[in-house]
Amino acid sequence: MRILLTGSRDWPRPQTVSMALWSLYEEAGGPLLVVHGACPTGADSAASEWCRATRCGMEEKHPADWTRHGKKAGPARNQLMVDKGADVCLAFIKDNSKGASHCAERAMGAGIDTRIWRM
């Protein structure tokens, strides 16, 4: 199952990310491909740690190229991840994070089953 994961850089609850991934692992009946933006903190980091610790998921990382694209890097990266498709999008949005909200909105617009956690 291909999972698009987006989330706030300061998402403080890695256990929520872990529980969501375990739920999808059980739903899929096997390994997950977890697509994320490779942020070293927050939801992306929690997903990366879950993949490493459990060996139940592989990662497809898409870091934004801020140097090359400036402020457009995040939205461009989000659209690229959405365009690659996913079975499910998991969105972990804290304080109405612009980046995570943008990615979740794009995923919903593309018809991807999007599950959102907010705080």
**Residues 5-55 pLDDT 10s:** 999 999 999 999 999 999 999 999 999 999 999 999 999 999 999 999 999
Q: Where are the alpha helices (DSSP H) in the chain?
A: 14-28, 42-54, 66-69, 73-83, 98-109
CATH number, domain containing residue 8: 3.40.50.620
Domain count, the chain: 1
**Residues 54-112 pLDDT 10s:** 999 999 999 999 999 999 999 999 999 999 999 999 999 999 999 999 999 999 999 99
Residue-level pLDDT at 71: 93
Q: Do the beta carbons of residue 70 and residue 77 sit within 8 Å?
A: no
Q: Domain of residue 75: give its range.
A: 2-118
